[in-house]
Amino acid sequence: MIIVTGGAGFIGSAIVWRLNQRGVEDILVVDHLGESEKWKNLVPLRFTDYLDRSVFIDRLEAGDFGDTIEAVFHLGACSSTTERDADYLMENNYRYTARLAAWAEAHPECRFIYASSAATYGNGDQGYEDDEARLHLLRPLNMYGYSKHLFDLLARRKGWLSRMVGLKYFNVFGPNEDHKGDMRSLINKAYPGVRDHGKIRLFQSHRVDYGHGEQRRDFIYVKDAVEMTLFFLDHSEVNGIFNIGAGEARTWNEVAAALFQAAGTPGNIEYIPMPEGLRAKYQYFTRADMTKLRKAGCDRVPMSLEAAVGEYVTEYLGPDRPLGF
């Protein structure tokens, strides 16, 4: 059996989808649906059972699943970079992950792969190299990033990274992110306005070294992120911290241009002030260093930004878009 926590969420549901394509259906989906619409992500998927996150962790630690677990993909977390309840983030993102990892450490026959985040890199002063020896130098800009960073440090300190994998996902976009609210990608949020009015809003730059819309991020399509993630299921000899990104930095203006092109409209960009509370926590530049992943043997070449946005718009954001993948 394979367990996917956050399995109804964005990347988690995409992993279940790809496992289904591989013929794998003995999957336990763990999540917390609440009143969100992410249950819709589960409808097209095939899996054995579903458990709420609070029920699952107690049953796992009690040994209810025996020795049937082949792998755990731990994608479940609060992914909001603007979440202000630090105690909630510590419990949900850090402590829960620590409990799962401790269980995995006691069960070496089970592959444990967890989601870290590019938010752990902070403003990028220390670069974007996925080197465990440099983890203590990183300074996340928000509590979400810190909650992820704190577990990376714990895993290194306990020696767990020699037997498990932590993945620093950069800006992932694609199908099944509708439920994420403000944390959805710009492509998802802006598409209706682009389609109906040919208009998109981008944050102004509040730094003299970046023009408006020239802030740069590493954008990666969710299908590419999933293939890179599943590489570690196929290669249990590879462990440690790894970046999951495209390996290039693209501007928000280029994202807008790709969206205009996919929607078939000339487009118009309006630059609006960045909220005061966000300015000190905003990453103006990210670019995943992919050297370590390539050396490990993962040769997945990500789709270009333009091709990925084009597929996302034409196949998943149109008026007759499918439910899930």
pLDDT in tens, 150-175: 999 999 999 999 999 999 999 999 99
| Per-residue 3-state assignment (H helix, E strand, C coil) for the chain | CEEEECCCCHHHHHHHHHHHHCCCCCEEEEECCCCCCHHHHHCCCCCCEEEEHHHHHHHHHCCCCCCCCCEEEECCCCCCCCCCCHHHHHHHHHHHHHHHHHHHHCCCCCEEEEEEEHHHHCCCCCCCCCCHHHHHHCCCCCHHHHHHHHHHHHHHHCCHHHCCEEEEECEEECCCCHHHHHHCCHHHHHHHHHHHHCEEEEECCCCCCCCCCCCEECEEEHHHHHHHHHHHHHCCCCCEEEEECCCCCEEHHHHHHHHHHHHCCCCEEEEECCCHHHHCCCCCECCCCCHHHHHHCCCCCCCCHHHHHHHHHHHHCCCCCCCCC
Q: 319 pLDDT exceeds 80?
A: no
Q: 322 pLDDT exceeds 70?
A: no
Among the listed residues 94, 128, 144, 221, the single catalytic one is 144
pLDDT digits (tens, 9 = 90+) for 99-118: 999 999 999 999 999 999 99
What's the whole-model pTM score? 0.94
- pLDDT mean over 66-82: 90
pLDDT digits (tens, 9 = 90+) for 305-318: 999 999 999 999 97
Of the pLDDT bands very low, low, confident and very high (cuts 50, 70, 90), residue 280 is: confident
Q: Is 180 a catalytic residue?
A: yes
Among the listed residues 40, 50, 180, 189, the single catalytic one is 180
Q: 269 pLDDT exceeds 80?
A: yes
Task: Give the pLDDT score at 93.
Answer: 94
Q: Is 40 a catalytic residue?
A: no
Q: Where are the domains of the chain?
A: 2-172+219-247+286-303, 173-216+249-283+310-316
Q: Which superfamily, per CATH, for 173-216+249-283+310-316?
A: UDP-galactose 4-epimerase, domain 1 (3.90.25.10)
Of the pLDDT bands very low, low, confident and very high (cuts 50, 70, 90), residue 274 is: very high
Q: 320 pLDDT exceeds 70?
A: no
Of the pLDDT bands very low, low, confident and very high (cuts 50, 70, 90), residue 324 is: low
Residues of the chain above pLDDT 90, percent: 89
CATH number (3.40.50.720, 3.40.1710.10, 3.40.50.2000, 3.10.450.50) of 2-172+219-247+286-303 reads 3.40.50.720
